[in-house]
Amino acid sequence: MQNSALYIHVPFCAHKCIYCDFYSIITPGKENDFIAVLEQEIQYYSVLYGKSHHFDTIFFGGGTPSLLTPAQIERILTSLHSAFSISSQPEITLESNPGTLSNEKLRGFRAAGVNRLSIGIQSFQERDLEFLTRIHSAEQAGTAVLEATRAGFDNINIDLIFNLPGQTSDLWLENLETAVNLPVNHISAYSLILEHGTILNKLVLDGKVTMQDTDYDADLYEITIEYLARHGYTQYEVSNFCKPGFECKHNNHYWHYDDYLSFGPSAHSFVHNTRWHNYTALSQYHAAILRVGHAQAGSEKITPAMAAEEYIMLALRSNGLDTHIFSQKFGAELLNTNKALFSQLLHEGFISKQGDILRLTPKGYAVCDEILERLQ
The domain limits of the chain are 3-255, 311-374
Q: What does the pLDDT look like over 254-271, one tens digit per residue? A: 999 999 999 999 999 999
**pLDDT category, 295, cuts 50, 70, 90?**
very high
- Which band of pLDDT confidence, cut at 50, 70 and 90, is reported for residue 376? low
Mean model confidence pLDDT for the chain: 94
d(CA 254, CA 373): 20
> Which of 5, 7, 43 minimizes the C-alpha distance to 264?
7
* CB neighbourhood size of 264 (10 A): 26
Residues 230-253: tens digit of each pLDDT: 999 999 999 999 999 999 999 999
* Res. 284: pLDDT tops 70: yes
User: Helices (DSSP H) in the chain: which residue ranges?
Assistant: 31-49, 70-83, 103-112, 126-132, 138-150, 169-180, 199-205, 214-230, 249-255, 282-292, 304-317, 323-330, 333-337, 339-348, 362-365, 368-374
Q: Which of 340, 80, 375, 365 is nearest to 228 (CA)?
A: 365
What pLDDT shows up at residue 15? 85
Q: Which of 16-20, 150-154, 199-203, 334-338 has the highest mean pLDDT?
A: 150-154
2: confidence class by pLDDT, cuts 50, 70, 90: confident
CA torsion through residues 195, 200, 206, 210, sign: negative
* Cα–Cα distance measured from residue 160 to residue 179, given in angstroms and rounded to the nearest whole number: 9
Task: Compute the distance between CA of residue 245 and CA of residue 253 in angstroms, rounded to an integer.
Answer: 16
Residues 159-174 have a mean pLDDT of 95
- Nearest CA to 242 among 206, 189, 192, 279? 189
As a dihedral over the C-alpha atoms of residue 342, residue 363, residue 370, residue 176, rounded to 10 degrees, the angle is 150
User: Per this entry, what is the length of the chain?
Assistant: 376
Give the percent of the chain with pLDDT over 70: 99
Question: 30 pLDDT exceeds 80?
Answer: yes
26 band by pLDDT with thresholds 50, 70 and 90? confident
DSSP string, 31-81: HHHHHHHHHHHHHHHHHHHTTT-EEEEEEEEES-GGGS-HHHHHHHHHHHH
Q: Is the peptide bond before 355 cis (omega within 30 degrees of 0)?
A: no
Do residues 98 and 141 touch, judged by C-beta distance below 8 A?
A: yes
CA angle 340, 318, 263 (to 5 degrees): 130
CB-neighbour burial class of residue 128 (10 A; exposed 0-12, middle 13-18, buried 19+): buried
Residue 195 has pLDDT above 90, yes or no: no
pLDDT tens digits along 79-138: 999 999 999 999 999 999 999 999 999 999 999 999 999 999 999 999 999 999 999 999
Q: pTM for the complete prediction?
A: 0.95
Per-residue pLDDT, 205: 87
Q: At 151, is the secondary structure helix, strand, or coil? A: coil
pLDDT above 80 (res 368): yes
CA atoms within 13 A on the CB side of 234: 9
* 270 φ/ψ angles, rounded to the nearest 5 degrees: -145, 110
Helix and strand numbers (H, E) in the chain are 16, 15
* Mean of pLDDT values over 139-165: 96
The tens digit of pLDDT for each residue in 46-78 reads 999 988 999 999 999 999 999 999 999 999 999
Does CATH place domain 311-374 in 3.40.1350?
A: no
**What CATH superfamily is the domain 3-255?**
Aldolase class I (3.20.20.70)
